[in-house]
Amino acid sequence: MDDKGTVIVVGAGPSGLAAAWRLKERGYSPIVLEERDRVGGQLLTIKQDGFLMEARTTILPEAYESVMRLVGDCGLSDQLLPAAYLMGFMRDDKMHMLRANRLALDAARTSLLSPGAKLKAVRLALDAFQDAQAPLLRGSLLSERPRL
């Protein structure tokens, strides 16, 4: 494959690493820049005393087909660990339990989120649903954008 040139990718979080991987597949030479001394962005798994603890947000449902496809394309499927659906969030010395497989229902019922935050989440979900119905999404977004 011909080298199409160097591309700078800023950030070694999941999105930056995914972009670099796909650029490399297409013949570019990506250089990933990261401020921290580790990759992963907001994802952080701590191994301590025989336990794995997630210190940041890390929900990866198999429903995210594009993410799961990328994991497979990178040859990392065997690195995924099954996890319980139950998640705990500490706030004000209280543990708030949410189920990943019933996240919308549990988020609506929990005191972890304010009524305003719940309303914003509903609006976001409605916007996403409406966007999914838009004719523009039937084709490639990149191919239909006007050239600058």
Q: Does 90 map to a domain?
A: yes
Write down the mean pLDDT value for the chain: 80
How far, in Å, CA of 22 to CA of 98, rounded? 34
Q: Does 116 map to a domain?
A: yes
- Given this model, what pLDDT does residue 108 score? 86
Q: Does 108 map to a domain?
A: yes
Q: Does 126 map to a domain?
A: yes
Q: Does 107 map to a domain?
A: yes
Strands (E) across 6-56 are located at 6-10, 29-33, 45-48, 51-54
pTM, rounded to two decimals? 0.54
How far, in Å, CA of 44 to CA of 38, rounded? 9
Q: Does 95 map to a domain?
A: yes
How far, in Å, CA of 57 to CA of 46, rounded? 13
Q: Does 60 map to a domain?
A: no
- Ranges under pLDDT 70 in the chain: 1-2, 57-63, 132-148
Q: Maximum Cα–Cα distance for the chain, whole Å?
A: 57
Share of the chain above pLDDT 90, in %: 20
Q: Does 39 map to a domain?
A: no
Beta bridge pairs of residue 89 = 96
- Lookup result for tokens 């949410």: 98
92-105: b (≥16 Cβ within 10 Å) or e: eeeebebeeeeeee
Q: What domain range is 107 assigned to?
A: 84-133
Number of domain units in the chain = 1
